[in-house]
Structure 1
């Protein structure tokens, strides 16, 4: 039997969902400019060694807590997590990009699916980071589906922006996303079922790239 939440998940996770993600490279543009990501192979290595570990050790464990708070309709805990994310994101571009993506997603989510809890949260002038928005829009879904959704949004965001920065065709782009999602999905159960959730990942590469990008003489992406 088709899960009731599946059509909703497919819609909000569609690449055509107007979140504004197409305008952000999240630091990738600067890495390309400095020769750290030169081709499709480099991109795949970058996703596997930099982004997936960050997802498994920071973003997704954080999402577990945010999803639990959203599912329990706990505004206080969700707001605290939102503000914690604001502090974690040291680079101004990455922080602002996350806020913009989250706010735009929630704005449309409210129009597509009336939810008093979401509306009340947005009206309280919260930062509305992308991760928090994902927790809110998937709060009635299994947490594993929420983690897959955020993982796909993150990985596909980098891969699709790379098509504008390096020689990368659509087919290879999809192969990279597929391989990366397969790698991530294989480790999700262990992360979700871990008895002790540790949140933290030290890798300043993207933060430094984002800070440099903010002062670049020319750029294609907002972040």
Structure 2
């Protein structure tokens, strides 16, 4: 069982960051899903669920792992190193651009939530001054650390947010019905604790491990003839 945050405010921060209406721009990015839809690999709720499970498992080496590593940061030097490493492990150019855009937005939200935390403030300021590249997982990890949220809760919450956002994108792209989308999210309940445990078991050395088929779809997206999403 996942441990719970240590305060009522920490709970509220978790709920805030998992809100599907969080203004990070995630609705504009499909992380290669649109490529798979157009190729006929994802056509219905069942094939999307399979895709989603692979996407979230890769996130345990990527965006979700960045959240956990962000929680572990204790200095500006470490922050700069993690930001550079996260950016350099993004192979697809559109995915790098997506991470930068969503990272900047997440950092702004983080500073609104925890304006007095030095690392939260540093990351937001550094992104505006172009000293950092940007990653939404890092920004989320910093604010969750400042709020006193433990690693497993942070990882599970962030993975839930990713699952919810991507399901909303699938509803538009495949398309799926809203009820089908909600059933998929409920099916992910049993996966998320294990995925959170996997994320927390990893270290910086695991960052950037990729699933080739998903990564190729992300690279191919910029060449598809018509698109609904930016990546």
Q: Secondary structure at the match of 1:4?
A: helix
- Once the two structures are superposed, the pairs formed by residues 47-86 of structure 1 within 5 Å of their partners are 47-48=52-53, 50-69=54-73, 72=74, 74-86=75-87
Contact 2:17–2:158 (8 Å) recurs in 1: no
SS in 2 for 1:99: helix
Q: In 1, Cα distance between the equivalents of 2:182 and 2:152? A: 22
In structure 2, stretches of 5+ residues that fail to align are: 1-5
Question: How far off is 1:153 after superposition?
Answer: 2.1
TM-score w.r.t. length of structure 2 = 0.85
Contact residue 135 and residue 146 of structure 1 kept, 8 A: yes
| Secondary structure at 1:214 match in 2 | helix
Contact 1:25 1:157 in 2 (8 A): no
- Give yes or no for the alignment of 1:134 onto 2:135: no
- Out of 118, 122, 125, the position equivalent to 1:123 is 125
- Kept in 1, the 8 Å contact 2:114–2:143? The answer is no
Larger deviation: 87-96 or 116-125? Answer: 116-125
Q: Deviations over 1:85-108 (max 9, x none)?
A: 111001011111011111112113
8 Å CA contact 1:47–1:180 kept in 2: the answer is no
Q: Find out whether 1:162 has 2:170 as its counterpart.
A: yes
Q: Which moved more, 1:157-166 or 1:180-189?
A: 180-189
Deviations 1:113-161 (A, max 9, x none): 3134212222222112011111112113111121012211222222110
Partner of 1:10: 15
Aligned partners of 2:32 and 2:218 also within 8 Å: yes
Moved over 4 A (4+): 193-200
Corresponding residue number in structure 2 for 1:99: 100
Residues 1:217 and 2:219 are matched in the alignment: no
Deviations 1:174-223 (A, max 9, x none): 22122224212135336535799744533122222222211222111111
- 1:11-66 C-alpha deviation (Å, 9 max, x unpaired): 22211111111111111111100011011110011122x12321334444443222
CA RMSD of aligned residues (A): 2.3
Give the aligned length.
219
How far apart in 2 are the matches of 1:197 and 1:84?
Answer: 10
Does 109-118 or 189-198 show the bigger shift?
189-198
In the alignment, is the contact (CA less than 8 A) between 2:35 and 2:217 conserved in 1?
A: yes
Secondary structure of 2:175's partner?
coil
